[in-house]
Amino acid sequence: MAEDQSKIECEVNEFFQGFTAALTSHREVMAAYDEQVAFEFNATSFFWPGEVKISEILAFFLDPNKSHGQKCTFLKILIQELKPQNCPPKILDDLKAIAAVEDPTGEGRRIDIVITLSRGDGEAQYVIGLENKIGTAADGTNQIKDYAKDLRKRVFGSDKQWTLFYLTPDGIDPPEHSVPKEEFEELLKSGNVQVISYHRIVALLGQFEVACKAENVRAFLRDFKQYVKKHILKEPSVNETNWIREFLRKHSNVVAHWDSLQEAINLLKEEHFQLFWKTVAEVLRPQGFTFGPEALEFDAKQYRSAVIASNGGPVFAEQGDLDVPLLIWNDSSALRKRAYLCIRLRKNLDSALEAKREQLKNQLQLVFKNVCVFTPTGPHCGGVPLTHPQFGNGAKLCEFLQDKGRKMRSEASRTAMEISEYIRRAEKAWREIGGIS
Angle (CA) 44 394 262, round 5° = 120
Are 97 and 117 a contacting pair, CB within 8 Å? yes
DSSP state of 229: I
Are 425 and 279 found together in one domain?
Answer: yes
CB count in 10 Å sphere of residue 69: 12
Tens-digit pLDDT profile for residues 94-130: 888 888 898 988 888 999 999 999 876 678 889 999 9
Question: How far is the first Cα of the chain from the last one, in angstroms, to the nearest whole number?
Answer: 69
Confidence of residue 341 (pLDDT cuts 50, 70, 90): confident
Are 334 and 413 found together in one domain?
Answer: yes
Beta-bridged to residue 97, according to DSSP, are 117
Give the 3-state secondary structure percentages of the chain, helix then strand then coil, rounded to 5.
Answer: 50, 20, 30
Are 101 and 206 found together in one domain?
Answer: yes
- 143: in domain: yes
Instruction: Compute the distance between CA of residue 373 and CA of residue 385 in angstroms, rounded to an integer.
Output: 8
- 233: in domain: no
Are 139 and 132 a contacting pair, CB within 8 Å? no
Phi and psi, residue 237, nearest 5°: -55, 135
Q: What is the pLDDT of residue 229?
A: 85
Q: What is the pLDDT of residue 187?
A: 93
Q: What is the pLDDT of residue 55?
A: 92
The more confidently predicted of residues 146 and 388 is 146
Which residue from 188, 160, 166 is spatially nearest to 88, judged by alpha carbons? 160
DSSP state of 95: -
Are 194 and 76 found together in one domain?
Answer: yes
Beta-bridged to residue 327, according to DSSP, are 305, 340
Q: Which residue among 216, 243, 274 closes a domain?
A: 216
Tens-digit pLDDT profile for residues 221-233: 988 998 888 888 8
- Is the pLDDT confidence value at 312 over 50? yes
Phi and psi, residue 224, nearest 5°: -65, -40
Which residue from 236, 224, 160, 163 is spatially nearest to 198, judged by alpha carbons? 224
Cβ-proximal residues to 388 (8 Å cutoff; 6+ apart), any chain = 337, 338, 339, 415
Are 204 and 229 a contacting pair, CB within 8 Å? no
Are 276 and 411 found together in one domain?
Answer: yes
Three-state SS letters, 288-336: CEECCHHHCCCCCCCEEEEEEEECCECCCCCCCCEEEEEEEEEEEECCE
The beta-strand segments (E) located in 192-317 are 193-197, 289-290, 303-310
Region label for 22, one of left (φ > 0), alpha (ψ between -120 and 50) or beta (otherwise): alpha
Are 274 and 381 found together in one domain?
Answer: yes
Most confident of 60-74, 150-164, 234-248: 60-74
Tens-digit pLDDT profile for residues 37-94: 444 656 676 666 778 889 999 999 999 999 999 999 999 999 999 989 888 777 888 8
Q: Which residue among 192, 216, 240 closes a domain?
A: 216
Confidence of residue 236 (pLDDT cuts 50, 70, 90): low
Are 277 and 198 found together in one domain?
Answer: no
Which residue from 405, 400, 378 is spatially nearest to 389, judged by alpha carbons? 400
DSSP state of 137: S
- Number of domains within the chain: 2
Are 313 and 425 found together in one domain?
Answer: yes
Are 212 and 264 found together in one domain?
Answer: no
Sign for the CA dihedral angle at 42, 48, 54, 56 comes to negative
Instruction: Compute the distance between CA of residue 138 and CA of residue 144 in angstroms, rounded to an integer.
Output: 12
* Domain span at 299: 260-432
